[in-house]
Structure 1
Amino acid sequence: MQIITGCTGAAHNFATDDAEINRMILGTSEIVLPTAQQLTAEMNGTNKVRIKAGSLLMQGRLAKTRSSEGYTEVELDSGTIGYYRYDLVVAEYYTTEETTTDTSGNEVTWTKEHIDLKAVKGTPDASQYLEPTITSGDIDSGQVNQMKLWGVKLNGINFDSLVDFRVITSSTALQLVTDAMTGIPEIATKAEADVNTAVTAGELEITNAKDNAIAAIMAAGGIDAYTKAQTDSLISGFKNITSTVINIPVASWDTTALTVTVACAGMTTDTTASSAIVSYDPATKDIFTAAGIFGSAQGDNTITFKCTTIPTAAVAVNVMVIK
């Protein structure tokens, strides 16, 4: 293993290292950042496209035209009278082999990386615009990769229209994370509802099974000793499910251990004999969620809850005991 963010006395930081961080923050999509003029395009005549200042991320690699530069001009081949043509303006990653001389006079060959704006020429067609194919490759492996920014349609020798392929991110990394987290409570609520639905269905199946067992016994003409023993064994195997709401005052919490132990009928120390499903009561959902409450231990007719921060008010907790 090699330290990256640290001083080692030798060059050891690579573009791939920063690219990994960028991909973790903003994902692997090829995007235009909401800076400067966001690589906006405008035509300069019929054969030149000006791509204005802005920044892009391609597989985590950052490239930009600075505001002080104004724009980058990309030249297109002239169109053909009587034909339609569809060209693309892309940002292209590629490498070249460079040779330099070190301080000792030795020639050193190294790989130089580039991201340039260029035109990918389409195929002229007498009846339609045909979008050309671009090259997709793995930058970290040194392969050529092209990112579509703009399409340019030429009708004969005349400019027709621009097509915008930019994917512009409108949020900061923090906002992207915040947006993603807003759905968590709804996901938890749906999960709780799914569990409750499954439990209700299970209870109904158990009731039906018991009724069917009794009906079968009655149809057989009564209960003898063997039949009774078999029936008792069958019924004892069914899960017993109870549900209760436990109200916990703020003063009950251990402010050091961040725990509270409360009465809970039916719980045992044996986790194979009993278990619990813990969820918030809708009346105190926000308090429960903010405190990060969860079940942490069980005892004989008790259950222990733990939190990440002491609740700001009394909280109600739904507990479903399964035996």
Structure 2
Amino acid sequence: MELVTGRAGTPHITSQQDRQRNQGTFGDGAYILKTGNQLDPVVQSSNKIQIKDGALMFQGALFSVKVGTVDEVTIANGSQGMQRKDLIVARYTYDAGENVESAAWAVIQGTPAASNPVTPEYTEGDIQAGDTTVECPVFIVTLDGINITGVEMVPEIAPDVPEIMAQLEELNSNNIWGERQIIGQSIGLTVFFRRNAYMYQVEVGGSINGSSVPLGGKKLANLPEGITTPQSTHRYMSTDSRLSIQINTDGEIWLYSTSNISSTSSGINVAVTEPILS
């Protein structure tokens, strides 16, 4: 065991330890961080691309284009009548002999094709395991003839803490149930409805006399307009197993009985919760 964030008297924190911390926060994938110009690529000519300042997090390693600067990458000239896809990668290199790590942009040139060009292969690996060369795809450059027609960013842009907090706040607000409203009253039963952003709930409560329920069932209410269910939903009453509430795919809410319950008085209290279809 070693204390990383502690005074040891001599330099002792390693890049591997720093990557461990970053992996614990960002995972071991590749993400553009929300800083600077987020490595925004700008096509300068048919074979020049400038990459604005920003930062890439990859396998816990931080790759940076210095604030206020741009990096320039050269793409090999295209060919008339041919298409091609090149890959701009962040290339990590470890010199085991000198125990030195470094990074640089590198272009992996694709194979020209008359149509549907294929993105070239790149060197995968594990920086933490000590692999000497590991490449992270950052941009796919598409050429049509001699012209660059597109530059696609491969990694996602990672949300920062304020964005995550705003998303959590929105998620929590969407989970709040709306006002409970009555959508039907029949044969001694009241049908209530409420919803949030993702779910709806139907509650049926009251007391009925068995003779008021036809053997084939009784329609109680309809779901509000715009609320649909993917399949018929059955819920049996805890007080009387012969009775059930069913919400049909057309939005009709029915009370069903499996047998003639004569004049028996039955209390009903059941809730059905289902996702709202988008």
How far apart are 1:64 and its partner, in Å?
Answer: 0.8
Distance 2:172 2:122 in 1: 39
- TM-score, normalised to structure 1's length? 0.51
Choose the corresponding residue for 1:176, options 152, 164, 178. 164
Choose the corresponding residue for 1:120, options 98, 108, 121. 108
Q: In the alignment, which residue of structure 2 is the partner of 1:88?
A: 87
Runs of 4+ in 1 over 6 A off after TM superposition: 188-194
Q: What is the letter of the counterpart of residue 80 of structure 1?
A: S
List gaps (5 residues or longer) in structure 1: 100-109, 216-241, 243-323
Q: In the alignment, which residue of structure 2 is the partner of 1:103?
A: none
Between 185-194 and 14-23, report the one with greater CA deviation.
Answer: 185-194
Q: What is the letter of the counterpart of residue 33 of structure 1?
A: L
The superposition leaves residues 216-258 of structure 1 with CA deviations (integer Å, 9 ceiling, x where unpaired) of xxxxxxxxxxxxxxxxxxxxxxxxxx9xxxxxxxxxxxxxxxx
Q: In the alignment, which residue of structure 1 is the partner of 2:23?
A: 23
Alignment of 1:79-158 (within 5 A): 79-99=78-98, 110=99, 112-143=100-131, 144-156=133-145, 158=146
Seen in structure 2, the aligned counterparts of structure 1 residues 82 and 177 have a Cα distance that, compared at 3 Å, is same
Q: What is the letter of the counterpart of residue 93 of structure 1?
A: Y
Q: What is the letter of the counterpart of residue 241 of structure 2?
A: N
Distance 2:12 2:28 in 1: 24
Q: What is the letter of the counterpart of residue 104 of structure 2?
A: D
Distance 1:202 1:44 in 2: 65
Q: In the alignment, which residue of structure 2 is the partner of 1:13?
A: 13
Q: What is the letter of the counterpart of residue 19 of structure 1?
A: R
Instruction: Report the identity percentage.
Output: 24
Seen in structure 2, the aligned counterparts of structure 1 residues 160 and 63 have a Cα distance that, compared at 3 Å, is closer
Distance 1:40 1:51 in 2: 6
Q: In the alignment, which residue of structure 2 is the partner of 1:77?
A: 76
Alignment of 1:1-323 (within 5 A): 1-68=1-68, 70-99=69-98, 110=99, 112-143=100-131, 144-156=133-145, 158-167=146-155, 169=157, 171-180=159-168, 182-184=170-172, 204-205=237-238, 207-208=240-241
Q: In the alignment, which residue of structure 1 is the partner of 2:180?
A: none
The superposition leaves residues 82-141 of structure 1 with CA deviations (integer Å, 9 ceiling, x where unpaired) of 322111111122312343xxxxxxxxxx2x222211101101112332222233322211
Seen in structure 2, the aligned counterparts of structure 1 residues 95 and 57 have a Cα distance that, compared at 3 Å, is same
Number of matched pairs: 203
Q: What is the letter of the counterpart of residue 138 of structure 1?
A: D
Question: 1:34, 1:168 within 8 Å by CA — same for their partners in 2?
Answer: no
Seen in structure 2, the aligned counterparts of structure 1 residues 19 and 71 have a Cα distance that, compared at 3 Å, is same
List gaps (5 residues or longer) in structure 2: 178-195, 205-233, 243-257, 262-268, 270-278
Question: 1:94, 1:142 within 8 Å by CA — same for their partners in 2?
Answer: no
Which structure shows the higher strand fraction?
2
Between 163-172 and 89-98, report the one with greater CA deviation.
Answer: 163-172
Which has the greater radius of gyration? 1
Seen in structure 2, the aligned counterparts of structure 1 residues 193 and 80 have a Cα distance that, compared at 3 Å, is closer
SS of residue in 1 equivalent to 2:237: helix
Seen in structure 2, the aligned counterparts of structure 1 residues 23 and 45 have a Cα distance that, compared at 3 Å, is same
Q: What is the letter of the counterpart of residue 96 of structure 1?
A: D
Question: 1:93, 1:113 within 8 Å by CA — same for their partners in 2?
Answer: yes
The alignment yields a C-alpha RMSD, in angstroms, of 3.7
Question: 2:34, 2:160 within 8 Å by CA — same for their partners in 1?
Answer: no
Which structure shows the higher helix fraction?
1
SS of residue in 2 equivalent to 1:13: coil
SS of residue in 2 equivalent to 1:53: strand
How far apart are 1:188 and its partner, in Å?
Answer: 8.2
Distance 2:27 2:158 in 1: 14
Question: 1:90, 1:148 within 8 Å by CA — same for their partners in 2?
Answer: yes
Seen in structure 2, the aligned counterparts of structure 1 residues 175 and 37 have a Cα distance that, compared at 3 Å, is closer
